[in-house]
Structure 1
Amino acid sequence: MTGAGTAPGVVDAHHHVWDLSVRDQDWITGDELSPLRRDFTLADLAPEARAAGVAATVLVQTITVPEETPEFLALAARSDLVAGVVGWTDLTAPGVADTLAELRAGPGGEHLVGIRHQVQGEPDPRWLVRPEVLRGLSAVAGAGLVYDLLVLPHQLAAAVEAARHLPGLTFVLDHLGKPPIASGELAPWARQIRRLAALPNTVCKLSGMVTEADWASWSVAALKPYAETVIDAFGPGRLMFGSDWPVCRLAATYAEVIAAARALTTGLGPAERHDVFTGTAVRTYHLPVTARPAPPQEPPCA
């Protein structure tokens, strides 16, 4: 049985897996990232997720090769945890619509919910608004999928322009647009966040924060100004929790990440917290799960 029909307490809207014997993750370089240079599988994630009250997840692409997405879709089809897959395809290729149709028709194709590209690695800060990219994004919208934005703060202006150009496509901002939490700088990033959030076809993930902070000494207090900015700008109805496992392990355990997210949302009411931890992800990604609130949990002291 797959995740379809389950009733999750929490949806983890952003995690990864990889098997280095199948394919290298060429972004894992240097001593700082060496803890990630090993296999991470659903079997590794499942007990941590279940212990944290997570019953459904969204598996997100990691590298820009076409083989990864059908592999992830087949994995989702065999999983009782993964409810959706955000895959990759070359948005600049002329046959994007055909490629997406092929993915949807393949094994596990019903689990394809979105597309993502590592825009953060593109040297052109306006890559998202290139004509060929906008054409590809239009095909994503035409397929009924959403688009995950993996951008750095200086690329947010182009993200705003792309979202404005394609009102029929939902753009999901990963990791708050990677604000400079470690330095404590807020204003330039926050200004662009509010511009993006002003567009109704945008959503944000409360994810990836601990690895943008100081890995060794992060605190909920250090994360709070950035979380409050996106809560205020997007509202709980357009905000969703994501663990960014296993990347988060560079700075925090799975349990610590979800505890931090709960602490950062203590000012919200029960229905609003349900949106952040379940409802927004289910609605945005059209996940085949029942968005039923989890039993209330007390946040940790922070």
Structure 2
Amino acid sequence: MIVVDAHHHLWTADYPWLAAPALAPIRRDYTMADLRPHLAAAGVKRTVLVEAGRCHAAETSRFLALAAVTPEIAGVVGWAALADPDLRAMLTRHRAGPGGDCLVGVRDQLQAGPDDLLDRPAIRAGLAGVAAAGLVNELVVRAAQLPAVARAAAGLPEARFVLDHLGKPSISAGVDRWRRLIEPVAACPNVVAKLSGLVTEAGPGWTRAVLSPYVKAALEMFGPDRLMFGSDWPVCEVVATYEEVVAVLSEILGGRPAAVFGGTAARVYRLENC
């Protein structure tokens, strides 16, 4: 089995969002040289590099060029503004540039918008455009936005959606509230979810017991063929190491299910292109 980390980032210390005081522990440059020892320690062979909140096309171009010369990076989820009328042309330009074949998905920073953002015609048109380009629609949203995710997925059955961080549940609010919100999403067969970011949502003092109900509920609702492991490194380093994230998921799941730890990502992102 080839283990795939379906969600990690790289960035430089000058990213504006890193200025938040709570993020001081990760306010530095993170490169592939920093990541490689963690991959080796955890037995991870391939990765998916996800946009890191720069919200600029130049970041995607840089990540694609890096993927072209980095064996570990099997695919890139780049940033694009879904409401941009030039979206399709931008995707065409990215694909024509260095590493363009490694573009596997598009992610906008939807979590910063209102709860009904995915219901808006311009956003729906962007989601449809990404799908028409043969790419994954990657969704980073808040739990309150999950009803709109379900409506968008049902309204665009031809699209492939990947839900980051299980929809960012509010751990303090309890698993039942989150489950009510995500069940309609899980009912859409074109949505895959990532077991990622949970240690960060739980915060300092997270434990396996705290995370386990969310992981097990996701496994019940989505099944292993619609779940994928993601480290969310280096965001996770605010509260946990890369190795701790891998270990706690493996413990909760009773091992490393082949689908969750590689097979789902390879299929959904079509990683054979890289």
Q: TM-score, normalised by structure 2?
A: 0.96
Q: Determine if contact 1:76/1:83 at 8 Å carries over to the other structure.
A: yes
Give the superposition deviation at 1:31.
2.6
Runs of 4 or more, structure 1, over 2 Å off, are none
Q: Determine if contact 2:147/2:182 at 8 Å carries over to the other structure.
A: no
Distance 1:224 1:120, change over 3 A: same
Question: Match for 2:3: what amino acid?
Answer: V
Q: From 52, 72, 78, give the equivalent of 1:81.
A: 72
Q: What SS does structure 2 have at the residue aligned with 1:100?
A: helix
Deviations 1:258-288 (A, max 9, x none): 001101111x7x7xx0000010000000002
Q: From 177, 193, 197, give the equivalent of 1:208.
A: 197
Matches within 5 A, 1:76-115: 76-115=67-106
Cross-structure match for 1:295: none
Output the CA distance in 1 between the equivalents of 2:124 and 2:212: 34
Q: What SS does structure 1 have at the residue aligned with 2:57?
A: coil
Q: From 253, 259, 284, give the equivalent of 2:268.
A: 284
Output the CA distance in 2 between the equivalents of 1:100 and 1:128: 20
Question: Match for 2:265: what amino acid?
Answer: A
Counting aligned pairs with the same residue, the percent is: 50
Output the CA distance in 2 between the equivalents of 1:114 and 1:30: 28
The reply on whether 1:35 has 2:19 as its aligned counterpart is no
Segments of structure 2 that go 5 or more residues without pairing to the other structure are none
Output the CA distance in 2 between the equivalents of 1:116 and 1:62: 10
Output the CA distance in 1 between the equivalents of 2:18 and 2:193: 25
Q: Determine if contact 2:194/2:229 at 8 Å carries over to the other structure.
A: yes
Cross-structure match for 1:294: none
Q: TM-score, normalised by structure 1?
A: 0.88
Question: Number of residue pairs matched?
Answer: 273
Cross-structure match for 2:35: 45
Output the CA distance in 1 between the equivalents of 2:38 and 2:151: 38
Give the superposition deviation at 1:98.
1.4
Give the superposition deviation at 1:289.
7.7
Q: Determine if contact 1:14/1:242 at 8 Å carries over to the other structure.
A: yes
Deviations 1:121-179 (A, max 9, x none): 11x21111210111111110011000111011100011111111111111101001111
The reply on whether 1:259 has 2:247 as its aligned counterpart is yes
More helix by share: 2
Cross-structure match for 1:58: 48
Q: Determine if contact 2:109/2:140 at 8 Å carries over to the other structure.
A: yes
